[in-house]
Every structure is written in structure tokens, then in C-alpha cells.
Amino acid sequence: MGFWRNQLSGPTDPAADAAWDRHEPRKGFFTDTSICIGCKACEVACKEWNHVPEDGLDLLSQSYDNTGALGASTWRHVAFVEQSSERIEQARESGRRLVQLGMPSVRTGGEPALAGGSTATATLAPPGDVRPGDVRPGAGAGPGPTDQAVPDLRWLMASDVCKHCTHAACLDVCPTGSLFRTEFGTVVVQDDVCNGCGYCVAACPFGVIERRRGDEGHEKTGQSHGISIAGAPGTGSHQNPPSYAASNGEVKNVGIAQKCTLCYDRLGAGQTPACAQACPTTSIKFGDLDEMRATARARVAELHELGYPEARLYGVDDHDGVGGTGSTFLLLDEPEVYGLPPDPRVTTADLPDMFRKAGYAGLTMLGLAAAAFVGRRR
Amino acid sequence: MTVNPFDADRPPERVRRGNGERKRNGQNGARRRDESLMVPDVSFDSYYGRHIVKPAPWEKEIAAYLFLGGVAGGSALLAAGGRALGYPALQRVGRVAAMGAAALGGAALAKDLGKPSRALNMMRTVKLTSPMSVGSWILTAFSGFSGLALASEVATAIAGRSDGGTGGGSAVARVARVLDLVDGPATVGSALFAPPLAAYTAVLLADTATPTWHESYRELPFVFVSSANLAAAGLALVAVPTAQNGPARRLAAVSAVTETLAFERMQDKLGPTLSEPLRTGKAGRLLRASKALTIGGAVGSVVLGRNRVAAALSGLALMAGSACLRFGVFEAGTASAIDPKYTVEPQRERLERRRAAGVVDDSITTAR
């Protein structure tokens, strides 16, 4: 019974639940957005290694982000947000609130707050070093309880990726068994099995996985990349009209759901995923999930020490709606600012109740039909 | 509002930020203000207005399948009832409709796939966590039983006609006799798989991250099975002579009441934000049309159902009402996925509610 309890929600070891007997440690990313410089080397490295096709050469009027969003042909996406001092102060305020929330020690079974503080702090730099316009106080102001001065402007840059959830909705709802859980606890699509039903696309609470089209990503086509972009409908010059990609035979897996594999092929050979390998500032870190989470916790504590209360972690908690994620993030504002859901919940957590309600509805239908045949014969 | 001496110490009430959208909640403004004293205000942010969850990449075929699956399920029940209680015309029409709609629906599903040539991959596993896998097997079983029942119907009709006076030794007559043996089990099987066929599509939509679909999972199956009954009753009213349309008329009446009640309850439970996609835009128009057609058709069939023409017109209205409902719910879900408001606001609200209640260990965002 214990085995079944956490199959749809709650903390669990997904690789063991998927009946892997060879036990690899669960792998994951830690993306520290405070040291991201927005170079997009991760996007490029991912495309190169995984043969992900071009998906639109459009200007989106979204700061320096012309990629748009994660999708079938975008497995790493660097978000750019420009913020004024007022918005930064709001981010600080929400960060302070978050810190205070945790003060009463409600969690009982948890780890100490700064567990693993010994790991990986050596390579870390304070975020102010890479943010333009950041007004740093004099050199004398070392780490302390007081907050850093609020700059006039800052750029948030964050490299988003598939979360490789503990309870992955895409995997749960896949009707063909194309999506599977690897021995590293990650979630991968078998492109020779997927029949393109699109159920995983609707099920993902983060909007990561998508069905690939031949004319992918162009703002004119009206696929997800093209929805609700103000001021840029079809004005960009398309070097590749939709027919180009479809006819030159280079786009593979058209009609099939695609997403980050956490470089399953490289993992099997003991290699680091392409994006983490290419990241020049170590913003994208890769390793055993436990280690990644410890690094994340140490880093957020360090940033709070340095006077950046807006720093917060995303995805390190096993008790959240998806049972914790394989990709964790350090953010400097609320998740929705980066296009991440603030309280995602795996849809299949409610599945037993859904089937129960459907069962009652089925009985109702039988009852209605029976009632129709009661009464006078004519 | 009461006044007491401590009111002077109360901080000024916060002015709601955000767009005019929120001010519409006039009817429960009082309740919301009380809440704001405990739960901090929810403001809505997004990344350049982009959607967070992706809309299902499904086209009109899937909405059409929702309708066709309903027609198939409801017709199978009418056919079974007709066979048991002696309505031969109802039995015949029900069997043809069940198999025809199931076949059309299956074709629509296959057409919508990204790789239609791999449609049979649906059959390579049985997966209880996937309503689509469960549904594929339900549709397969239903089609098998309904096909047998239809074959028996056709064979009996042919054998009966050619039987004339020759005694029935022909091959057709032998086949008809064999099929006659399986007629009963096929009818029962078809009727048993009919309610799951009509109800699972609601789970199919609800088991997604699409906000309006997911949050309506408690009531949507009841809406869908009623709609299935209505569509099947409508088809029977069109195709069955008035002497045998009594069950279809009564089915239309009780199902219209059930559907209306279930739909109202669904809207209430969704709350003002998440029910907005059901009330506005294209989906809102379709659903309002559905309501008018359903009520009109049901009243017409009950009052004027003994008139052949009026019965047929009522039947058409009922079918159109059911189709509008399916397309409306389908559109509403897509709209709720595309606007990030429907993803962020309800999630923020439930997160703040939990935090206000003292639960701080289940958030995806943490300070340490």
C-alpha cells in the first residue's frame, strides 16, 4: 500500500517507482538566474547537440528575448525581463515575506535550512556583478543583515528548461507509453513511438512539451508561439517561409511531441548535458539532484546574507504540487514574472476522484435511460 | 458595516491593483473584502502576456468527437431499451447511430493525431493513469459490441426479407441465426460500455493543466452524460416514428433538466474567474445557444412530440444544442489556457489561502 500512496502525488523516488532495478542517483539541473548573463549559449548548444530545428527568426518585442517560450523546438529558453526600481522593491518585499513565512518551524521531517552549505560556494559570485545599472554601496559594505541599495534598473535573465517533475503529468497521461522515466529519474519522449496525440501538451503544468510542426514557431502560423504577442503579428521578415521547413526534409519528428531529454544520450556516457557544458558563468549547474538542491540552498542563503532578500528557490520542495522537480531554479522575483506557474499541481493527483465522479455520472446516465423507458407504452 | 472604537486603529483598506477585470465581481464584493483582511491581495503578473500552460493542440475534430461519442453512447442505451421493451424502430435507429457515430468519432480521433499512421499505437499498452488510453479501450470494446449488434440487425433484416416462403436454408439465413445468438450479449455489452464512453471524455478534458477544464472535473461528467442522452434522444426523435418515440421524449426531458442543473453548478463551483471563459467570447455564445436549443428542443419534444414534424424539429434542436455545448466547452478550455490570467490568478489565490491558513511547506517557491 505504501508503494501506491505516492504514485500520483507527494514525495517519492520516481526511478524506483518506474521499476528500475539498476539504481542511478537522480540527476537534475540547478539554474542560478542571479549569475545568468543572457548569452543564450545554452539555447544554441542544445539545438546543436540534439539536432533541434530552427523555429522562427522573428523579433518579438520582448526585450532581448526573441525565442519566446519553451516548445517543441526550443528546449532551453532564456527569458529577459527589464525592471525599474519600483518593481525591484516589490520583488524584495515578496522575498522578505517568503523568508518570514518560513520562520515558524512548521516543517518537521525536513533538512536543516543550510544543509550542504559546504558545497559549491567557491564558484559563486554576488548577482550585482553581472547586472547593469546596479548601484553598489562602497567597498566597505560587506555581507550583513542590511539590504543592498535598490538599483534604478535591472535585467532578469533566466534559462528555463523542462522541470523533469517527480510526478510528471505528461508521462502519466501519455496513452502510447512513448514518454518514459529513465534510470536517472528524468522524463524522455521516444520519438519512434509517439503518435502525436497531443495529450501531454495540455497536461504539462509548466507548458514545456509541445507537438512539432513543420512550420514551427513562426509568429504568423498561430501555433502557441504566435499567441497574444502585441505589435508583432507577421511583421518580421521570414527568411524561411513555412513551406521551406516542410519541404526541405530537414525537420524531423514533425507531428511528434518534443521536449528536453536532459541529454539522455550524454548522461548514459557519463557526460554533462550540452547546455550546462556550454554555460560560461556556471549559471546552469548539473549533477545529482541532492547535490543540486544543497547547492541551491547554500546559494540562496548566501544571497540573503549579502542583502538580496528577493532571492528565492523554485522546485526544491518535495511537498509541492508536482512532488519536487528535477530542474531547480534560483529566482529574483515571483515565478510568474519569468513565465513560471506560482503553484503548479500535477493534474493526475486528482485522477482517482475524476474517475469516481465519472463513474457516478455513468450510473446517472443509466438511471436517466431507465427512467425514459418507465411509463406508458404507446 | 459595524463601527467600533477600534476602527480608528485599523489601517486604511488597500486599493486593489490590477485591471478593471476584477471590479466586475460586484455580487460577492462583500465576501472578497472580508477575505482581504486575512489573505494578501493577489496581483497578476505574467511574462509579456504569454500563456504559461499550453493549449491542447487539438482541432475541431476532437470537439466533434466529444459530440459523436455522446451520440453513440446514448443511442446504444436507447437501442438496448428498445430491444428489451419492444420498440423495433428505436432499436434499429439506435444500433445504426451507435455504430455510425462510433466509427465517425474514431476516424475524427485518428485524423487529429500528429502521426495518423501511428493511430494503432494507442493499443500498444493499457495505462490507467491516461484517460486517453482508457478511453481508447472503451471505444474499442463499445465499437466491437455495437458492430455485432448492428450486424445482427442487418442480417435479420436481410434474412427476413429473402425468407419470403422458401424456409430459410440460405447462407444469409444461417449467418442470421448465428448472429441472433450473440444479439443479446452484444446488446448488453454495448449498453454497458455506453456510459463509460459518454463519461470518459469529461475526464479526458479534466485531466489536463487547462484551468477551466481541470477545475470543472467534479461536474463535467454529469454535463457530458446528459448531453449525450440529449443528442441520442434528438437523433431518435428525428428518425423514429411517433408511435415509438415515447422513450426518446422522456429521455430528452429528464436529461435536459439534469444537464441544466449540472452546468449551473459547474459554473458556480468554478467561481467568477475560471467560469469567465464559459461566459465570454465564442465559447459564451456557443453555450448560450446550447442552452436555448436544449430547453427549446426538450419542451418541444414533450409538448409537440406526437406530431412527426414537430418531433423532428425538436430532435434537431436537441442535437444542435448538444453539439454547441461540446464545442463551447472545448473553446472555453482553449481560451483559459491561452490567457495566463486563468493560470496565475487561481494558483496565487490558493497559495495565499494556504499560507494564510498556516501551511507553508507545500509551495514550489521557498526562501531556503
Q: Does B355 touch chain A (CB under 8 A)?
A: yes
Choice between A133 and B258, residue whose per-residue pLDDT is larger: B258
The span from the CA of B281 to the CA of B299, in Å, is: 27
B360–A106 C-beta distance less than 8 A: yes
Residue A237's pLDDT is 37
Residue of A nearest to B228 (CA): A365
- pLDDT classification of A121: cutoffs 50, 70, 90: very low
Closest in A62, A101, A195 to B121, CB measured = A195
Comparing A69-83, A327-341, B40-54, B175-189, which segment has the lowest mean pLDDT?
B40-54
The DSSP result for A281-297, as a single string, is TS-EEEEEHHHHHHHHH
B368–A313 C-beta distance less than 8 A: yes
The DSSP result for B220-236, as a single string, is HHHHHHHHHHHHHHHHH
Residue of B nearest to A224 (CA): B54
User: Options 3.40.50.720, 1.20.1290.10, 3.40.50.2030, 1.20.1630.10; which CATH number does B60-346 get?
Assistant: 1.20.1630.10
Residue A14's pLDDT is 92
Q: Does B308 touch chain A (CB under 8 A)?
A: no
pLDDT tens, position by position, A278-302: 999 999 999 999 999 999 999 999 9
Q: Which residues of B touch A71 (CB under 8 A)?
A: 54
The DSSP result for B106-171, as a single string, is HHHHHHHSSSGGGGGGGGG---TT-HHHHHHHHHHHHHHHHHHHHHHHHHHHHHHHHHTTT-S-SH
Q: Give me Rg for the CA atoms of chain A.
A: 23
Separation in Å, CA of B343 to nearest CA in chain A: 7
Q: Which residues of A touch B214 (CB under 8 A)?
A: 347, 350
B365–A314 C-beta distance less than 8 A: yes
Total tally of structural domains belonging to chain A = 1
The span from the CA of B91 to the CA of B77, in Å, is: 9
Residue B163's pLDDT is 58
B45–A334 C-beta distance less than 8 A: yes
In this structure, what CATH number is given to the domain that contains residue A121? 3.30.70.20
Q: What is the mean pLDDT of residues A31-53?
A: 96
Q: Report yes or no: B319 and B231 within 8 Å, Cβ to Cβ.
A: yes
A175–B133 C-beta distance less than 8 A: yes
Task: Provide, rounded to the nearest whole percent, the portion of chain A with pLDDT above 90.
Answer: 67
Choice between A145 and A183, residue whose per-residue pLDDT is larger: A183
Closest in B49, B85, B221 to A358, CB measured = B221
CA A30 to chain centre: 11
The span from the CA of A84 to the CA of A65, in Å, is: 18
User: Domain for residue A371, yes or no?
Assistant: no
Instruction: Tell me the CB-side half-sphere exposure of residue A361, using CA atoms within 13 A.
Output: 34
Residue A338: all three cell numbers together: 519569468
Residue A243's pLDDT is 42
Residue of B nearest to A165 (CA): B364
Give me the residues of B, 257-286, that contact A with CB < 8 A. 258
User: Domain for residue A53, yes or no?
Assistant: yes
Each residue's pLDDT tens digit in chain B (368 positions)? Answer: 556 666 666 666 555 444 444 444 444 444 444 444 455 555 678 999 999 999 999 999 999 999 999 999 999 999 999 999 999 999 999 999 999 999 999 999 999 999 999 999 999 999 999 999 999 999 999 999 999 999 999 998 888 776 554 555 678 788 888 888 999 999 999 999 999 999 999 999 999 999 999 999 999 999 999 999 999 999 999 999 999 999 999 999 999 999 999 999 999 999 999 999 999 999 999 999 999 999 999 999 999 999 999 999 999 999 999 999 999 999 999 999 999 999 999 999 999 999 998 888 889 999 98
Residue B11's pLDDT is 62
B360–A102 C-beta distance less than 8 A: yes
Residue of A nearest to B116 (CA): A195
Residue A251's pLDDT is 80
Q: CA–CA distance from A163 to each of A10, A204, A207, A220, A339 (Å)?
A: 16, 10, 10, 29, 13
Widest Cα–Cα separation across chain A = 97
For testing contact with chain A, the best of B14, B44, B48, B214 (most A CBs within 10 A) = B48
User: Domain for residue A367, yes or no?
Assistant: no
pLDDT tens, position by position, A9-41: 888 999 988 989 888 999 999 999 999 999 999
User: Domain for residue A361, yes or no?
Assistant: no
Q: Which residues of B touch A203 (CB under 8 A)?
A: 207-209
The residue segments making up the domain with residue A286 are 8-102+110-347
Closest in A173, A204, A370 to B207, CB measured = A173
User: Domain for residue A327, yes or no?
Assistant: yes
Q: Does B362 touch chain A (CB under 8 A)?
A: yes
Q: Which residues of B touch A359 (CB under 8 A)?
A: 199
What is the DSSP code (8-state) at residue B12? P
pLDDT tens, position by position, A199-222: 999 999 999 999 998 765 444 444
B130–A341 C-beta distance less than 8 A: no
Q: Report yes or no: A295 and A116 within 8 Å, Cβ to Cβ.
A: yes
Separation in Å, CA of B172 to nearest CA in chain A: 33
Residue A215's pLDDT is 62
Task: Indicate the SS3 state at residue A347.
Answer: helix
Comparing A54-68, A111-125, B81-95, which segment has the lowest mean pLDDT?
A111-125
The span from the CA of B259 to the CA of B63, in Å, is: 18
Angle at A197 between CA A194 and CA A198, to 5 degrees: 105
Residue B168's pLDDT is 55
Residue B360's pLDDT is 82
Q: Report yes or no: A49 and A274 within 8 Å, Cβ to Cβ.
A: yes
Instruction: Tell me the CB-side half-sphere exposure of residue B149, using CA atoms within 13 A.
Output: 32
Closest in B214, B339, B364 to A320, CB measured = B364
- In total, the C-beta contacts within 8 angstroms joining chain A to chain B are 337
Residue of B75, B68, B78, B77 whose CA lies nearest to B101? B68
User: Domain for residue A359, yes or no?
Assistant: no
Q: Does B208 touch chain A (CB under 8 A)?
A: yes
Residue of B283, B238, B218 whose CA lies nearest to A354? B218
CA B339 to chain centre: 23
Q: Does B78 touch chain A (CB under 8 A)?
A: yes
Separation in Å, CA of B245 to nearest CA in chain A: 9
Comparing A110-114, A245-249, A344-348, B181-185, which segment has the lowest mean pLDDT?
A110-114
CB atoms < 10 A from the CB of B9, how many? 6
pLDDT tens, position by position, A223-245: 444 443 333 333 333 334 444 44
Residue of B nearest to A170 (CA): B208
